[in-house]
A and B are shown apart, each in its own frame.
Chain A
C-alpha cells in the first residue's frame, strides 16, 4: 500500500516567493495533518482536517500560511510570501479519526534564502 505522499521533497526558494507543498494521504484515512519541524521548536502542528474540513488551524503561524483540502485525496500548504524563518521540514500525516497513530509522509524540506 502506498503511504502518505508529499511533494516536493526539497524546495529552495528566495524570500518573497510563493511556496506550495502537496500531500496525498493514505486512502481511507479521514484525518490529515500538517506539521512543521525545526531543531528549535520540534514538531509543531500547523493545521488538521477531518473529512476535508479544517478543524483546528490555531498552529498556522500567520496569514502568510494557508492550507486547503479540496477532496479526500489531496491537500496543499501554501506560504506566500515566504521568509527565511519558514525554513523547516514540513510533514503531512494522515490517520483514522481519533486515532493517535499518524502515518507521516517523508516530508518536504524547505529552504528560504
Chain B
C-alpha cells in the first residue's frame, strides 16, 4: 500500500517569503512525482512534476526530489496572496497502469 504523507499544516507565510512544502512517500519503487494546487471549492490542477533526483525550476516554483530519502518538496519563491491554496503531493509507481496516490494536502496561506 503506497502512502504519501504531507505536513499537517496549515502553513502561513508573509507575502514575498519562500514557502516550503514537504512530502514523503513509502514506496521506493515510485517513479514520478507531482504537485497539484487546489483552490478552495475548486478542482486540483497540476503545477509541477519531477522524475529525477535534484531540482526542477519553473518560474517561482521549484520541485526538489530525493529518492534516497524518499521525499519531494515544493518551494514557492516570492509568495503571493494568489498562492493561497491547498497543495497536494502525488506519487506514481513504475509500470503501466500504475495509479497516482495523493497526500492529504497542506493548506498555504500567504499574508499580504
Binding site for B on A (CB under 8 A): 33, 35, 41-43, 45, 48, 50, 55-56, 91, 97-98, 100-102, 104-107
Contact = CB atoms under 8 A, between A and B. Distances in A.
A55 B36 CA distance: 23
B99 A56 contact: yes
* Dominant SS among interface residues on chain B: strand
Nearest to A35: B102
B69 interface: no
Query: Which size class do B's interface residues fall under?
Result: 20 to 34
Contacts of A104: 43-45
A102 B96 contact: no
A45 B104 contact: no
A74 B105 CA distance: 29
Q: Is the interface of A mostly helix, strand, loop or mixed?
A: strand
Contact of B96 (A35, A41, A98, A105): A98
B43 A106 contact: yes
B49 A97 contact: no
A48 B44 CA distance: 17
21 contacts: A33-B99, A42-B88, A42-B104, A43-B104, A43-B105, A45-B99, A45-B100, A45-B101, A45-B102, A50-B97, A56-B97, A91-B44, A98-B96, A98-B98, A100-B32, A100-B34, A101-B34, A102-B44, A102-B46, A105-B43, A107-B43
